[in-house]
Amino acid sequence: MKSAKFKGLMALSATAVFMVNIHIYGRFILPSFQADFFFFFPPITPFSGIYVLYFVLAVLPGLLISANTTRPSDYIFLLLYFILYLPSVAFFAMYNADFDTAETFATLMFCVSFSAIQLKNLIPVRSFTFSQTPSRALRRSVLSLLVGVPILAALLFGEYSLESLTENVYERRRYIKEGLTDIPTFVFYICNWLGSAIAPILTVIGMARKKPALVIIGVMAGILSFAISTHKINALTAIITGLFYFFLRKKGGNEASPKAAILFVCLFIYFIPWLFSMVSGNILVLWTTTFRMALNNGFLAATYIELFSELPMVFYADSFLSSFLNSPLSQPISRIAGGYVSTVEDNNANASFLANGFANMGTAGMLFASIQCMIVMWLYDIAAARKDPMVVTALTISPALVLANTAVHTSLTSNGILLLIVMIWMMPLGGSTKRKSSKPQQPIATLDLSPSSHG
């Protein structure tokens, strides 16, 4: 009964989010649809039946999530489902109004590739779980270096000022790309590590241990990252992760809940910003949150499939295979996509891991990207096993946001997800809080009920 109710909630939430995506795309992204738009509903055309097909495709992968999951990677999948998959399918539906065969096939492969990620649950985690984390002294020393050195480097070598925050963001980025700055290249990698790994983990650990100083340092690290790099998501990640942790605690106590995760995404990433914009007429909040964290991912996925279906495959010649292969394209794929969607000179438009896979290897590239993503999620499960379930679940926001906007290999290195996984592995076993519970807290991703696994 519980499983059936959860599936019903998932289907209902997916339907609502899918329709909100359709509405926002038609209202703000595709102006030609506005004249025919009435509240939620897409325009009536001879091809309106395509919305039924795409609606079915939108709902199906969400049904693969279990209400009783104990693997934190399932929360990454759930978050990606709402902030990447649903916006992508919604935009595919509106972009493919003439029911183009090639684009429809690419959409089907997008669905299959995304759903295939859940095959990760067939790979055991417990047998590969480390029996113990490093000693307390070593752990504290390493974590202090992992946190302190990047923050110090950003403060010493970065350029940040009030002017850099108020000037045109694209002008600022071109200034950085053209080398008209004294900032060393490694500082920009550090900025990504600060925003996607260090800031969120400091924020959540601070909230779990009731240490406001850690929360403040975490949020400020994200803001520092944004001040140097101009990427808004670097500042938002710590804040969203903290809100997610708070919401999970309020709804689930000491146990992570997929239901709470669904409600969080629907309310704070979609419905509240959308309703506020509808009532107030001000789209700034909608643009900063919903579009930046979700809709833009769908828009760029559709753009990549349309654009790179007509161009030669790159086979990762402009990324990790650049030393062995020559790209048939004159520019990196993100730069080509940036020029396609914007008139801003030298604009980069990074897209999700699936869209990046398509640009490199076509539909086979999407399957390859899903295998890469599967491995990353499995590594996350290994690192998070027998750790505080609320903390490691809240931290899934970061890899979800990163994977929704970049390739898997880039997310691991340049965007700091590997660093996040290492830091989670370094955390102590069991719960990280001093809260008392009337019943034993079941460790995540394991059935080991030894005393060391309790919070």
* Tokens of residue 373, six digits: 């993503």
Residues 6+ apart with CB under 8 A from 202: 147, 214, 215, 217, 218, 221, 238
Q: What is the pLDDT of residue 285?
A: 85
Same domain? For 339 and 398 the reply is yes
Same domain? For 331 and 261 the reply is yes
User: Quick check: 73 pLDDT over 80?
Assistant: yes
Same domain? For 267 and 365 the reply is yes
Q: Is residue 389 included in any domain, yes or no?
A: yes
Same domain? For 243 and 259 the reply is no
Q: Is residue 178 included in any domain, yes or no?
A: yes
* Tokens of residue 388, six digits: 């505080």
Task: Report the percent of the chain where pLDDT is more than 70.
Answer: 80
Structural domain for 226, as ranges: 148-249
- Start-to-end CA distance of the chain, whole Å, equals 29
Same domain? For 117 and 152 the reply is no
User: Quick check: 329 pLDDT over 80?
Assistant: yes
Same domain? For 115 and 261 the reply is yes
Burial class (CB in 10 A: 0-12, 13-18, 19+), 169: middle
Listed residues 249, 281, 315: the one ending a domain: 249
Q: What is the pLDDT of residue 7?
A: 92
Q: What is the pLDDT confidence band of residue 433, given thresholds at 50, 70 and 90?
A: very low
CB-based contact 358:418 (threshold 8 Å)? no
Q: Is residue 213 included in any domain, yes or no?
A: yes
Q: What is the pLDDT of residue 14?
A: 95
Q: One-letter amino acid identity for 34?
A: Q
pLDDT (tens digit per residue) in 86-106: 999 988 887 766 667 777 888
The CA angle 230-421-408, to the nearest 5 degrees, is 60
Same domain? For 336 and 372 the reply is yes
How far is Cα 365 from Cα 24, in angstroms, rounded to an integer? Answer: 29
Q: What is the pLDDT of residue 197?
A: 92
What mean pLDDT do residues 337-365 have? 87
Listed residues 249, 264, 284: the one ending a domain: 249
Q: What is the pLDDT of residue 27?
A: 74
Same domain? For 238 and 262 the reply is no
Structural domains counted in the chain: 2
Q: What is the largest CA-CA distance in the chain?
A: 68
Q: Which residues pair with 38 in a beta bridge?
A: 41
What mean pLDDT do residues 32-56 have? 56
Going from the C-alpha of 228 to that of each of 109, 183, 201, 293, 412, the distances in angstroms are 38, 9, 20, 20, 21
Same domain? For 259 and 237 the reply is no
Same domain? For 258 and 232 the reply is no
Which is more confident, 372 or 33? 372
- What is the pTM (predicted TM-score) of this model? 0.87
- b/e 359-390 (16+ beta carbons within 10 angstroms → b): bbbbbebbbbbbebbbebbbbbbbbbbbbbbb
Which is more confident, 130 or 204? 204
CB-based contact 160:182 (threshold 8 Å)? no
User: Quick check: 330 pLDDT over 70?
Assistant: yes
Q: What is the pLDDT confidence band of residue 233, given thresholds at 50, 70 and 90?
A: confident
How far is Cα 20 from Cα 252, in angstroms, rounded to an integer? Answer: 27
Q: What is the pLDDT confidence band of residue 48, given thresholds at 50, 70 and 90?
A: low
Same domain? For 315 and 242 the reply is no
Q: What is the pLDDT of residue 176?
A: 58
CB-based contact 350:303 (threshold 8 Å)? no
Q: Is residue 138 included in any domain, yes or no?
A: no
What mean pLDDT do residues 321-336 have? 85
pLDDT (tens digit per residue) in 139-198: 777 777 888 888 887 777 766 655 545 555 555 655 555 554 566 767 777 888 888 899
Listed residues 225, 249, 273: the one ending a domain: 249
What mean pLDDT do residues 50-76 have? 89
Q: Is residue 405 included in any domain, yes or no?
A: yes
What mean pLDDT do residues 43-49 have? 51
Q: What is the pLDDT of residue 36?
A: 41
What mean pLDDT do residues 112-136 have? 78
Q: What is the pLDDT of residue 106?
A: 86
Q: Is residue 290 included in any domain, yes or no?
A: yes
Which is more confident, 335 or 353? 353
Q: Is residue 449 included in any domain, yes or no?
A: no
What mean pLDDT do residues 54-83 have? 93
Q: Is residue 398 included in any domain, yes or no?
A: yes
Same domain? For 77 and 118 the reply is yes
Which is more confident, 226 or 370? 370
Total Cβ atoms within 10 A of residue 239:
16
